[in-house]
């Protein structure tokens, strides 16, 4: 069995808005090929952490390293070069409504490559094929479903063959079946393309079906309480807040759900 290779490392990362601290002293490692989950309750700073990792929000202190190289303390040109290795799917998909799906995917290719229009069209068709949208090149976002928009957004995120894919609440707004299909697609792309995946989510079904590594952010202490495989954290972590979060909806010994709700089923 090969040793894990660190791909992203945070060191003493503190996130703040002015004098308000969101999270402090974050230290975790995302290994190459991980599906890494950033999880925690509402308002704990999951999306803020994601923004710090992709270059949209400068941390108050600390550093993010990619393949051992510092991100925030490097030059602007070096940061831009690192960001070319990222693909990001935002919560709403963020597709341009006035452009077809092929045109949306082609935007980055036009800006960052020397490909001809015909070649860009071919790449867009290939990326849409990867996410199960063959034949939808000339559709507009308003003409497809919410789940299809998420997949089209993923195709656009993959336009430049990124080493790392970032997802912000990918299942938000999707019905359970569409959410499961998107989870399956994330795993298929990770396995076929060798991509490292970082996902912000609080959805238990996604956490357990795709995540092999994670960090748990706590809004009360404003720091991480745990890092590791979500299933192992659910079953064995000593901190009650971590276990309660990951056991939501699980039947307690007396038959009632941990949080009084049986709305969510936990994967075995």
**pLDDT per residue as tens digits for the range 11-33:** 999 999 999 999 999 999 999 99
Same domain for 170 and 227, yes or no, is yes
Same domain for 238 and 174, yes or no, is yes
Residue-level pLDDT at 250? 59
pLDDT digits (tens, 9 = 90+) for 156-184: 999 989 999 999 988 888 888 888 988 99
Residue 181 lies in a domain: yes
Same domain for 140 and 81, yes or no, is no
Same domain for 79 and 169, yes or no, is yes
Residue-level pLDDT at 238? 95
Q: Number of structural domains, the chain?
A: 2
Same domain for 183 and 205, yes or no, is yes
Same domain for 117 and 62, yes or no, is no
Residue 138 lies in a domain: yes
Same domain for 179 and 241, yes or no, is yes
Same domain for 100 and 125, yes or no, is yes
Same domain for 54 and 170, yes or no, is yes
Residue 59 lies in a domain: yes
Same domain for 113 and 227, yes or no, is no
Domain that holds residue 169: 6-85+162-246
Residue 189 lies in a domain: yes
Supply the pTM of this predicted model.
0.88
Same domain for 130 and 233, yes or no, is no
Confidence at 254, pLDDT banded by 50, 70, 90: very low
pLDDT digits (tens, 9 = 90+) for 79-106: 999 999 999 987 666 789 999 999 999 9
Residue 142 lies in a domain: yes
Confidence at 1, pLDDT banded by 50, 70, 90: low
Residue 1 lies in a domain: no
Same domain for 170 and 216, yes or no, is yes
Residue-level pLDDT at 262? 34
Show the 3-state SS of the chain: CCCCCEEEEEEEEEEEECCEEEEEEEEEEEECCCEEEEECCCCCCHHHHHHHHHCCCCCCEEEEEECCEECCCCCHHHHHHHHCCEEEECCCCCCCCCCCHHHHHHHHHHHHCCCCHHHHHHHHHHHHHHCCCCCCCCCCHHHCCHHHHHHHHHHHHCCCCCCEEEEECCCCCCCHHHHHHHHHHHHHHHHHHCCEEEEECCCHHHHHHHCCEEEEEECCCCEEEEECCHHHHHHHCCCHHHHHHHCCCCECCCCCECCCCCCCCCCC
């Amino acid at each position: 069995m090969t040793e894990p290779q660190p791909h992203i490392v945070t060191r003493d990362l503190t996130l703040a808005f002015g004098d308000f601290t969101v999270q402090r002293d974050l230290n975790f490692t995302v290994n190459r090929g991980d599906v890494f989950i950033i999880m925690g309750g509402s308002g704990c700073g999951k999306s803020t952490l994601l923004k710090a990792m992709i270059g949209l929000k400068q941390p108050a202190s600390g550093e993010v390293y990619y393949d051992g190289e510092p991100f925030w303390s490097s030059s602007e040109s070096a940061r831009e070069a690192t960001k070319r290795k990222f693909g990001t799917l935002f919560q709403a998909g963020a597709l341009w409504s006035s452009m077809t799906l092929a045109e949306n995917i082609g935007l980055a290719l036009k800006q960052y490559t020397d490909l001809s229009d015909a070649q860009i069209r071919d790449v867009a068709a290939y990326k849409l094929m990867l996410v199960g949208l063959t034949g939808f090149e000339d559709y507009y976002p308003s003409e497809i479903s919410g789940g299809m928009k998420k997949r089209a957004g993923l195709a656009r995120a993959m336009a430049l063959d990124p080493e790392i894919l970032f997802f912000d609440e990918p299942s938000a707004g999707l019905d359970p079946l569409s959410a499961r299909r998107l989870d399956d697609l994330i795993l298929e792309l990770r396995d076929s393309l060798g991509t490292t995946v970082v996902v912000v989510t609080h959805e238990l079904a996604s956490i357990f079906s795709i995540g092999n590594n994670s960090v748990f952010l706590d809004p009360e202490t404003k720091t991480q309480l745990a890092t590791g495989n979500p299933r192992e954290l659910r079953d064995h972590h000593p901190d009650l807040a971590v276990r309660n979060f990951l056991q939501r909806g699980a039947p307690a010994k007396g038959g009632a759900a941990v949080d009084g709700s049986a709305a969510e089923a936990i994967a075995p």
